[in-house]
């Protein structure tokens, strides 16, 4: 198996009930790459936080349920794991009634080697998280 070619691509409806589903799919991907322990635990927490952000923030203006989705992709390269969580919602905007504590992104930043949060055209958001695999 060529690790550099094995990817995970997953799209699910943006619902809280699908967050554990995504986490378990990513866990299977990690297991398939023999990634476990503290690294896998950190990856699963970061992915969960990114998906929670989508559910809580991306589609808050009543988009049709069928168009409210979480897109997740994962790719392992030789020394790094990259996971992207994307939505096609309304992008980043101030929200005075935020339901969370605002801990999600700081937690992601603490868990990853690098995190990029950028627009995902036409109006969504993409969170790209990179994890250093070291000698894994």
The residues of the shown chain that bind another protein, judged by CB under 8 A, are 16-17, 19-20, 23-24, 38, 41-42, 44-45, 48-49, 52, 55-56, 100-101, 103-104, 107, 110-111
CB closer to another protein out of 107 and 117: 107
CB closer to another protein out of 6 and 110: 110
CB closer to another protein out of 80 and 107: 107
Alpha-carbon gap, residue 56 to 63, rounded angstroms:
13
> Helix 104-111 crosses helix 37-53 at what angle (to 10 degrees)?
150
Q: 76-89 b/e with 16+ CB inside 10 Å = b?
A: beeeebbbbbbbbb
- What backbone torsions phi and psi does residue 91 show, to the nearest 5 degrees? 80, 180
How many other C-beta atoms are found inside a 10 Å radius of the C-beta of residue 107?
Answer: 16
CB closer to another protein out of 81 and 111: 111
Alpha-carbon gap, residue 103 to 107, rounded angstroms:
6
């Amino acid at each position: 198996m060529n690790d550099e070619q094995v990817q995970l691509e997953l799209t699910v409806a943006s619902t809280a009930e699908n967050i554990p589903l995504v986490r378990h799919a990513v866990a299977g991907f990690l297991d398939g790459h023999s990634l476990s322990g503290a690294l896998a635990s950190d990856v699963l927490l970061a992915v969960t936080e990114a998906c929670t952000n989508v559910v809580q923030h991306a589609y808050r203006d009543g988009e049709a349920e069928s168009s409210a989705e979480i897109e997740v992709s994962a790719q392992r390269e030789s020394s790094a794991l990259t996971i992207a969580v994307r939505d096609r919602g309304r992008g980043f905007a101030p929200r005075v009634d935020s339901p969370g504590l605002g801990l999600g992104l700081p937690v992601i930043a603490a868990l990853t080697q690098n995190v990029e949060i950028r627009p995902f055209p036409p109006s969504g958001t993409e969170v790209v998280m990179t994890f250093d695999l070291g000698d894994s």
